[in-house]
Amino acid sequence: MSLLAVGVSHRTAPVALLERCAMDTGDVAAALHRLVAADSVHEALVLATCNRVEVLAEVDGCHDGMAEVSRVLARHAGVVVEELSPYLTVHRGDRAVAHLFAVAAGLDSMVVGEPQVLGQLRAAYALAQGEGTVGRVLHPLAQRALRVGKRVRSETGIDRAGPSLVAVALDRVEDRTGPLRGRPALVVGAGSMGALAATTLARRGAAVTVSSRTTASARRLAGRVGGRAADPADLPREVAAADVLLTCTGAPGPVLGAGVVSRAMRGRPERPLVVLDLALPRDVDPAVGALPAVHVVDLALLQREARAGGGAAVAADALAAARALVEAETARPAGRRPDSDRRSPARQGPALVPSRPTDPRPPGDPR
């Protein structure tokens, strides 16, 4: 048996390709079942974020396993394997473990140290559990990765040093607009990223309006941040009133066209609009960026800045401590907890590793 981590990420692939590879929850569930239906793949977990789409799999052999995983990813992206292969990263065995731990710790993110990826990994693991595609190998490994991510955040200081992708994007806005305090800001999307965006904007003093396809979700989020909810039908008027527009929906294609923004700008030719598109696939029509007085910050721009070393920096000591912890955890035998994580039996909660983990293989399967 072998362990593989295969996928595309902001480190290797342009945003245009990441968009094609992007998966929502339904896509991930379908991919999980395609993966474990292959003869060479026994268990699978898929982590799909705005920075990456990666598969962690237990396979019979690395060559056949990589071929199967590549086929599933290429099929979803609508490309042939040969088109996708140059952008794939592949980690095997202990290197796959080290990569997973680094991802959980935020060390492989576009914004190093960002905390959101740990929750995304937790959600990916829960989905794989629900679909029955993790078993004796990936159950304990995913749980170890979650523990490592938590330890890195609690013991190294990287959690205090590492900003979120939203915070970095809003820094770019303030470079252009100055402080956001008192400025009208429109958030389109009320999911986890929308909630983070609305919260961060509110903390910076912006007057937050939330628009979502689900009005009830918009109202809940707006209430939490002291903002107001907008009717989706009023989007053109809300765009016209905003100084900052941040989009982060899970839509399969653009939700904001150049026509809507162009009409909104006619009544405010001297007042610029900064658009932050943090969705994958992108929410904003690329033509919006060509409109007068409109500046677009999207994942492609943040990716270029990260590759050029222009992103937010994490303190060197926190980064070194985080990397050392990941290295030590990778080298530690499975099943043995570090001293700092051991508790007396009387104080321990429920066991993290199920006594009878789900095995995705059918009864009698000799694999």
Regarding predicted confidence, which is higher, 61 or 202?
Answer: 202
pLDDT of residue 310: 53
pLDDT score recorded for residue 30: 98
Residue 137 pLDDT? 96
pTM for this predicted structure: 0.79
For residue 366, the model assigns a pLDDT of 39
- What proportion of the chain, given as a percentage, has pLDDT over 90? 66
Q: Which one is catalytic: 21, 50, 62, 248?
A: 50
The band of 363, judged by pLDDT with boundaries at 50, 70 and 90, is very low
Q: Tell me what the mean pLDDT of segment 10-38 comes to.
A: 95
pLDDT of residue 247: 94
pLDDT digits (tens, 9 = 90+) for 242-294: 999 999 998 888 999 999 999 999 988 789 999 999 998 899 999 999 999 99
Structure confidence at residue 157 (pLDDT): 73
What is the structure's pLDDT at 339? 55
| pLDDT tens digits, one per residue of 137-176 | 999 999 999 999 999 988 887 766 556 788 888 988 898 8
312-331 confidence digits (pLDDT tens): 556 678 788 989 999 999 99
Residue-range domains of the chain with CATH = 2-161+317-333 (3.30.460.30), 165-307 (3.40.50.720)
What pLDDT, on a 0 to 100 scale, did the predictor assign at position 21?
95
The stretch 14-27 carries a mean pLDDT of 93
Residues 365 and 347: their CA atoms lie apart, in Å, by 39
Mean pLDDT of the region 223-246: 94
Determine the average pLDDT of the residues in 296-303: 88
**Catalytic residue check, 50:** yes
Mean pLDDT of 208-228: 95
| pLDDT at site 98 | 96
pLDDT per residue as tens digits for the range 332-362:
887 656 655 544 333 333 333 333 334 444 4
